[in-house]
Amino acid sequence: MAHDLTLFANTRPRRRSAPPALWPYSLAGFLALFSLWFAVAHSGLMPARVLPGPDAVVAAFFRLMREPFAGFTLQQHLLSSAIRFAFGFLIAAAVGVPLGLVMGRFRWVDDIVSPVFEALRFVAPIAWVPFAALWFGTGIGGPILIIFSGAFPPCVINAYRGARLVEPRLIEAAQTLGASQWRIITEILIPGAVPAIIAGLRIGAGLGWQSLIGAELIVVSSGIGYVIVQGQSNLATPIVMAGMVAIGIVGFVIDVLLRTFEHWVRRKWSGA
Amino acid sequence: MSAISFLDVVRSFDRVGDQPIVALDRVSLTVAEREFVAIVGPSGCGKTTLLRLAAGLDFPTAGRVLVGEREVRAPGPDRAVVFQQFALFPWKTVRENIGFGLKCRGMSARDREVPVEHYIGVMGLGGHEDSYPHQLSGGMQQRVAIARSYVLEPDVLLMDEPFGSLDAQTRIEMQEELIRLARVSPRTVLFITHSVEEAVYLADRVVVMSRRPGRIREVVEVAGLRRDEAWQDRPIEEVLDQESFIHLRSYIWKLLRDRPGDHGAIERLEPKRTVRSVR
């Protein structure tokens, strides 16, 4: 591992001086999608009510930002979604990562938790909606449970795997140097598992965000998912699609932020 | 106080649907306080297992392991281990690696400074205090690992092929350094190696083990010879050319190459008297 990192550190300057110019390809993909969408929407094969063109969706998007719809502007809806997401995701990370680490360190915890965890993790977040509403209401508690149920498993699994992949030799070395159990967890297990933990947070954030939208479709009266439901009941398909676009953008932003964080930590950890 | 005793130690590893592997079979060995004992033997002879038992990282199936008259129940900083692959913490700097054991003892960052700096100096790591392990050469990483153990001033030092992955040049430097350190602050040392030369050069006694099941074949005394010929005061290449050194080395080589079954052959070739006479 150390050797790989050294190699990577040596080759980095060269990579930085010649960044691969791939963005034109990415742009071409988007252009192709929008052109096709535009062509089909304006061909008259489908009524605008069924498939609005990208121009109509963009117009709806900017209108939603200015004029309140279903009580709030798009930004306000996004903000209320984001707050719910932040709560659910942070709770999932705060509970899931330590749990995964402890499971990875102590066999008996693993034996207690794993069967229950394995049974529950295949229950889709959406399936929790009835109980979420029943136990925590439709305000903020219910959606948080649903986000939690989406983001929690990847946090646990990755922290667990990360802890298991820490070289046993390092843990033994720490033991022979007199490290307490707590110190082994904080100074050996966590740093060793950090790359895996962050990858888990990223996956968890994605699933949490998706689960949130699902929750908002059903239980609440604000948020971006609620915009879509209201758009549908008003037969305002451009609004539905504008909502979908907003979800995609926010999801993408969350992923980019976490990926940047991941790169930052990786670089710090490799010591370069 | 810090002698290591293996009393009739058996360590076998269970295998699913198969006979258990007997790594150590009724091994009895005592390393006296401040004695340097090297263990040589073919791979799979249980020498690493022996060291792990003394470290408290593994436990005997039968028999007892005592360090300083107390049964070994867990790893601890009184018995420092230098691992074959160094086992430095990759996310800690040289300084942090060396100071880790002291930190575990509850020493503050300021109190750690002096002993850590001392060993950085002793090990010639000056200028690299804030480097990470992967930025260092193998030889330097090894010196960090040794400093990390020495800084705790442990009664017992357990070293598992510490120089195995070093190039010949660095290896010789490290061997000389170890001799020097051993003279400045003598410790009880259990040193595992597959290099007979290294064992004879460093150790007071060389324990020769045989494979499957791991048993002690013979214990060869070196301390007297080293003292008489003042090896520690001479450069390594000179010692290696000594007739007595070569003699001892080839005697141990024959022990290693000899099949455990035909025990008589070696007795005829090299009677034990020869070893005693060079003492």
ipTM for this prediction:
0.79
Number of structural domains (chain A) is 1
Nearest to A188 among B89, B93, B148 (CB): B89
| CATH, domain range B4-78+154-278 | 3.40.50.300
d(CA B279, CA B276): 5
**Amino acid making up residue A180:** S
Model confidence at A232, in pLDDT bands (50, 70, 90)? confident
If you average pLDDT over every residue of chain B, what do you get? 80
d(CA A266, CA A271): 9
Model confidence at A268, in pLDDT bands (50, 70, 90)? low
Cβ contact, residue pair A178, B90, below 8 Å: no
Contacts of B89 in chain A (CB under 8 A): 170, 173-174, 187-188, 191
Tokens 């159990």 found at:
A181
Q: What strand order describes the sheet that includes B18-31?
A: B18-31, B4-15, B62-67, B70-71
d(CA B14, CA B134): 37
Q: Quick one: closest CA in A to B157, which residue?
A: A176
Residue A1 lies in a domain: no
Testing the interface with A: which of B100, B112, B152, B190 to mutate, by most A Cβ within 10 A? B100
Q: Is the dihedral of CA B47, B53, B57, B63 positive or negative?
A: positive
Nearest to B76 among A178, A270, A271 (CB): A178
B201 touches B236 (CB < 8 A): yes
Model confidence at A219, in pLDDT bands (50, 70, 90)? low
Q: Across residues A70-80, what is the average pLDDT?
A: 85
d(CA B129, CA B120): 7
Domain ranges, residue A94: 50-270
Say yes or no to pLDDT of B262 above 60: no
Residue A45 lies in a domain: no
Nearest to A170 among B87, B101, B134 (CB): B87
pTM reported for the whole predicted model: 0.72
For B183, list phi and psi in degrees, rounded to 5: -80, -40
Q: Which residues contact B260 (CB under 8 A, 6 or more apart)?
A: B210, B211, B215, B217
Residue A31 lies in a domain: no
- Alpha carbon of B66: minimum distance to chain A alpha carbons (Å): 16
Residue A199 lies in a domain: yes
- Alpha carbon of B201: minimum distance to chain A alpha carbons (Å): 27
B198 touches B38 (CB < 8 A): yes
Contacts of B55 in chain A (CB under 8 A): 172, 176
Confidence at residue A93, expressed as pLDDT on a 0 to 100 scale: 92
Q: Across residues A196-201, what is the average pLDDT?
A: 88
The domain that holds A254 is classified in CATH as 1.10.3720.10
Cβ contact, residue pair A271, B55, below 8 Å: no
Model confidence at A9, in pLDDT bands (50, 70, 90)? very low
B116 touches B151 (CB < 8 A): yes
d(CA B158, CA B48): 10
- DSSP, res A50: T
Confidence at residue A94, expressed as pLDDT on a 0 to 100 scale: 93
Nearest to B90 among A2, A177, A187 (CB): A2
- DSSP, res A69: B
Residue A233 lies in a domain: yes
Nearest to A177 among B74, B77, B85 (CB): B77
- Alpha carbon of A222: minimum distance to chain B alpha carbons (Å): 45
Query: What are the tens digits of pLDDT across the range A129-183?
Result: 777 777 877 777 788 888 888 888 889 989 998 888 888 889 999 998 888 888 8
Residue A56 lies in a domain: yes
Q: Across residues A176-196, what is the average pLDDT?
A: 87
Testing the interface with B: which of A7, A177, A181, A184 to mutate, by most B Cβ within 10 A? A177
Query: What are the tens digits of pLDDT across the range B52-86?
Result: 898 888 888 888 888 887 888 888 888 888 888 88
For B172, list phi and psi in degrees, rounded to 5: -65, -45
Cβ contact, residue pair A191, B148, below 8 Å: no
Q: Across residues A50-76, what is the average pLDDT?
A: 85
Q: Does A168 touch chain B (CB under 8 A)?
A: no
Confidence at residue A32, expressed as pLDDT on a 0 to 100 scale: 92
Residues of B with CB under 8 A from a CB of A: 55-57, 74-77, 79-81, 83, 85, 87-91, 93, 100-101, 104-105, 131-135, 148, 152
Q: Does A87 touch chain B (CB under 8 A)?
A: no
Say yes or no to pLDDT of B266 above 50: no
Q: Across residues A51-69, what is the average pLDDT?
A: 86
d(CA B158, CA B65): 14
Confidence at residue A20, expressed as pLDDT on a 0 to 100 scale: 67
Q: Which of A33-37, A40-44, A91-95, B273-277 has the highest mean pLDDT?
A: A91-95
Q: Quick one: closest CA in A to B81, which residue?
A: A176
Contacts of A187 in chain B (CB under 8 A): 89, 100
Cβ contact, residue pair A183, B104, below 8 Å: yes
Q: Quick one: closest CA in A to B94, which residue?
A: A271
Cβ contact, residue pair B76, A187, below 8 Å: no
Residue ranges per structural domain of chain B: 4-78+154-278
Query: What are the tens digits of pLDDT across the range B179-230?
Result: 777 777 778 889 898 888 888 888 888 888 887 778 888 888 877 777 777 7
Q: Across residues B103-127, what is the average pLDDT?
A: 85
Residue A8 lies in a domain: no
Confidence at residue B265, expressed as pLDDT on a 0 to 100 scale: 41
A71 touches A222 (CB < 8 A): yes
Query: What are the tens digits of pLDDT across the range B155-166?
Result: 888 988 888 777
Helices and strands (H and E) in chain A: how many: 12, 0
B131 touches B93 (CB < 8 A): yes
If you average pLDDT over every residue of chain A, what do you get? 82
Confidence at residue A147, expressed as pLDDT on a 0 to 100 scale: 87
Say yes or no to pLDDT of B267 above 50: no
Q: Does A262 touch chain B (CB under 8 A)?
A: no
Q: Across residues B232-257, what is the average pLDDT?
A: 80
Testing the interface with A: which of B49, B91, B148 to mutate, by most A Cβ within 10 A? B91
d(CA B151, CA B141): 15
Say yes or no to pLDDT of A263 above 80: yes
Residue A196 lies in a domain: yes
